[in-house]
Amino acid sequence: DVKVTQSSRYLVKRTGEKVFLECVQDMDHENMFWYRQDPGLGLRLIYFSYDVKMKEKGDIPEGYSVSREKKERFSLILESASTNQTSMYLCASSTPGRAYEQYFGPGTRLTVT
Amino acid sequence: GDSVTQMEGPVTLSEEAFLTINCTYTATGYPSLFWYVQYPGEGLQLLLKATKADDKGSNKGFEATYRKETTSFHLEKGSVQVSDSAVYFCALSASGGSNYKLTFGKGTLLTVNP
């Protein structure tokens, strides 16, 4: 069974902390994505990676960075967490030929206090 | 830019009722259209898709038809079950689905009562 796992289901951090969210997929997918999900706003793409060490900004990259050192792992980094980054973060992966068929992890609910 | 508009929720139905969730889109060219579903506590999963006008996507009793003339892709099911309770997202991908970027609607929460 295909799987995308995220390091934490729930996370509480303080304002100004550096936060790492980890995502691992076991499907050998080239594409990986980070979204945030907010009530009334749906899903918004933060960053996308189409290969190891390659990345592209999504719609809302401000305040975030990413790292992809291995094909199976894609990390989202909040350099200095702020309260407006309190959200549900979803990781996804896909193959280039079927880029629309994205497999999602269960999400990390991050609260910044 | 591309956008997806879906009906506001929440939607509450009794078991075996008919379901419609409306979705309309704005896009240049010929997008592919999708419905994703998010069950409680889980990530999203692809429910069905349609890649060209007049295509009908179907899965698990759900159907949606790509209507180019009305720029719509409404989700329907003839008889819902309690297990269908979830959030449903309409989405599009420009350039026929080869483009990685999915544009999502805001989601519609469906609750089905026994």
Q: Dump pLDDT digits (tens) for B1-27.
A: 889 999 888 999 999 999 999 999 999
Q: Please compute the mean of the pLDDT values over residues B65-71 and round it to a whole number.
A: 95
- Beta carbons of B97 and A99 less than 8 Å apart: yes
DSSP A22-39: EEEESS--SEEEEEEEET
All residues of chain B having their beta carbon less than 8 Å from the beta carbon of residue A33 are 100
Whether pLDDT at A107 is above 90: yes
Peptide bond into B31 cis (omega under 30): no
**Average pLDDT of the residues in A75-91:** 97
Give the mean model confidence (pLDDT) for residues A71-84: 97
Of B104, B102, B97, B105, residue with least CA distance to B29: B97
How many CB atoms are closer than 10 A to CB B13?
16
pLDDT tier, A98 (very low <50, low <70, confident <90, very high otherwise) = confident
**In this predicted structure, what is the pLDDT of residue B8?**
83
Are A13 and A111 contacting, i.e. CB atoms less than 8 angstroms apart?
yes
Q: What pLDDT shows up at residue A97?
A: 76
Chain B residues interacting with chain A (CB cutoff of 8 angstroms): 32, 34, 38, 41-46, 49, 89, 91, 93, 97-102, 104-107
One-letter amino acid at B61 equals G
Verify whether the Cβ–Cβ distance A100 to B49 is below 8 Å: yes
Amino acid at A83: T
Distance CA A61, CA B92 (A): 21
Tens-digit pLDDT profile for residues A36-65: 999 888 899 999 998 998 999 998 999 999
Average pLDDT, chain B: 92
d(CA B72, CA B91): 11
Q: What is the three-state SS of B63-107?
A: EEECECCCCECCEEECCCCHHHCEEEEEEEECHHHCCCCEEECCC
CA distance B48 to B33: 9
What distances in angstroms separate CA B57 from CA A67, A84, A94, A101, B17, one per listed residue?
36, 38, 20, 14, 21
Distance (Å, whole) CA B105 – CA B64: 15
* pLDDT for position B69: 93
pLDDT of residue B99: 58
Window 60-89 of A, Cβ < 8 Å to B: none
